[in-house]
Amino acid sequence: MRGRVATAAMALLLLVGGCASEPGPQSTAVGPSPVTAGPSLVTAGPEVRAATGDAARRAAEVTAAWPGSAAQQAWEHGYFPVEDTTEWMPAGAFRSGADKAAYLSGHLDLGTTLPVSVSGTAEVRFADGSRLTLPQRSAKEVFARLTARSDVCATHCDSRLTVTAVRPGTTTVATSRGQATVPVWEFTLSGYDRPFRYPAVLSQAPAAGPTANTFDGSSTVLDSVSADGLVVTAVVSYGSCDTVRPGEVHETDLAVVLIGRVDRAPARACDAAARSTPVEFRLSRPLGARTVLGLADGRPQLPSAASAASATSADAGGRAAAPSPAGAGNVSERMCPLLRTATHRRGPETNHRRSGNGPADSPPTHRRRFSWATESGRQLGPVSFPG
């Protein structure tokens, strides 16, 4: 027993020691590695690496399409969730496989009267005290969507659930403007003590524009921002035989696009496992209130840790200011950003994705808050924001 404890302690010391070591002043690269290798930070170095090649052209298209777009208006002044708001299920979700099959197949009976809104509007309240009035999604519409599901059941195809009560309520959602209290409809199902919740207002974020063609850079997922705002860390995906090099940046007064650089391996035997590693990008000036946009989809991104903590604040101009991570002395925040998980679990209410008829006690789904972020972009095309 003592031997195992000593071994575990030594492993922990080696891990922390490796994370705490100071990076060199020059930029680094991550080369081919075995499947078991963990992520290694590709440091930015002292120089700013401006975008080049086809990726620079693509980044210019992305930033040119941002000002005045419907996406920018929603991101800065509207209701733009940065988490999945499809539904919020109670802890533990379903009591049995039969209940899960009935729910996913839309086999719901209405055993109560649906409430009707008088005004037809509902209010979103942000943490800074501002409020936004939006069209209300009716309880009738929610029930219609639930019963219109067409998942093909494998077992328990005759099972049904009954809605015994529907009440208005609220929940907290992470948005581009920080935490917001949003209205929901709480559906109580027969045999369940806690309600299933559905949004009573819909996101104002426009659908993603088309992506096509190819380019010579890799998409990234924003992870963190340094305290001085000059270095942002993002995740870049690569193959087992590829080499990740320091990335490049395209900057304007309103937006920043990060471009991952990966040297693709020549044709040879490589496993198909996808990998990802954190890469630092040095900016010419602090990020400030500028928005980080995805190279492939042109969608805005928040630092994953800040999004998971719902700690985003908005400046006077309405743009979401990137929160600063903990100081440089914090090992997990500064030196090993990926030791801090970029996924989250919603407290007593777990936000589940609907999937097949798996076991009733399936663990809660974990995922990034930025469900739209593309981690390994090869598809590309002109950015088009409605409005």
pLDDT digits (tens, 9 = 90+) for 123-155: 999 999 999 999 999 999 999 999 998 777 777
pLDDT digits (tens, 9 = 90+) for 88-111: 999 988 999 999 999 999 999 999
Last residue of a domain, one of 332, 352, 369: 332
Quote the number of domains for the chain.
Answer: 2
C-alpha distances out from residue 290 to 256, 286, 287, Å: 7, 9, 6
Domain that holds residue 140: 89-199
Last residue of a domain, one of 332, 351, 377: 332
* 190 and 248, same domain (yes or no): no
Selection from 305, 102, 377, 69 nearest residue 207 by Cα: 69
Last residue of a domain, one of 149, 170, 199: 199
Whether 352 is in a domain gets the answer no
* 131 and 274, same domain (yes or no): no
Residue 280 has pLDDT above 70, yes or no: yes
Check residue 209 and give its pLDDT. Answer: 67
Selection from 183, 184, 176 nearest residue 83 by Cα: 176
- Of 25-29, 104-108, 244-248, 278-282, the poorest mean pLDDT is in 25-29
Whether 226 is in a domain gets the answer yes
Q: Where are the alpha helices (DSSP H) in the chain?
A: 2-20, 53-65, 70-77, 97-104, 139-147, 304-309
Whether 368 is in a domain gets the answer no
* 148 and 222, same domain (yes or no): no
Selection from 323, 373, 371 nearest residue 178 by Cα: 323
Check residue 307 and give its pLDDT. Answer: 45
Selection from 264, 240, 113, 121 nearest residue 183 by Cα: 121
Neighbours of 352 (CB within 10 A): 19
- Of 143-152, 186-195, 268-277, the poorest mean pLDDT is in 268-277
* 213 and 156, same domain (yes or no): no
User: Would you say how long the chain is, in residues?
Assistant: 387
Whether 282 is in a domain gets the answer yes
Whether 4 is in a domain gets the answer no
* 66 and 128, same domain (yes or no): no
Give me 75's structure tokens.
């991101």
Whether 350 is in a domain gets the answer no
**CA dist., res. 267 & res. 25, Å (int):** 33
Check residue 27 and give its pLDDT. Answer: 55
* 256 and 195, same domain (yes or no): no
* 124 and 58, same domain (yes or no): no
* 223 and 290, same domain (yes or no): yes
Residue reference for tokens 């104002």? 204
Q: What does DSSP say about strands 161-175 and 108-110: parallel, antiparallel, or unpaired? A: parallel
* 187 and 218, same domain (yes or no): no
pLDDT digits (tens, 9 = 90+) for 292-336: 999 998 999 999 855 444 433 433 333 333 333 333 333 233 223
pLDDT digits (tens, 9 = 90+) for 3-48: 544 444 444 444 334 433 344 445 565 555 443 344 589 898 899 9
Residue 138: CATH number of its domain? 2.40.128
Whether 104 is in a domain gets the answer yes
Selection from 258, 235, 238, 245 nearest residue 338 by Cα: 235
Selection from 84, 180, 82 nearest residue 134 by Cα: 180
Whether 344 is in a domain gets the answer no
Residue 369 has pLDDT above 50, yes or no: no
